[in-house]
Amino acid sequence: QVQLVQSGGGLVQAGGSLRLSCAALGRTYAMGWFRQAPGKEREFVAAISWSGSSTYSADSVKGRFTITRDNAKNTVYLQMNSLKPEDTAAYYCAARSRQGFSGSYDANTYDYWGQGTQVTVSS
């Protein structure tokens, strides 16, 4: 069983930046970030392949959010810049237990989930 431990998040003003981290205790492959705002469905944010050579981001965050990973630390990061109030949500990291990157936007393809961390952007 793989455990994902998230850190980061908090309260920031619009236009500000935050970085989320997700440390995996165990072997993982592709990893991703999802978010869920109150009263809304969970939505895909960004994903990264095991090697880090492939990434995929939602249109709503392209150019503002960057996903990276450090396999030596077994950690994936989400750098969030130019934050907007509509980015306010609980953010979750996720990891796959098998190789492959296709369909990385689909939450149902992930096997492990972090505990979630709140990001609040004030206007």
The confidence score (pLDDT) of residue 1 equals 87
Spans in the chain with pLDDT lower than 50: none
Express as a percent the part of the chain with pLDDT over 70. Answer: 100
Answer whether 69's CB lies under 8 Å from 24's CB.
Answer: no
pLDDT at 94: 98
- The alpha helices in 8-113, defined as continuous H runs, are none
3-class secondary-structure state, position 109 = helix
DSSP strand pairing (55-57 vs 43-48) = antiparallel
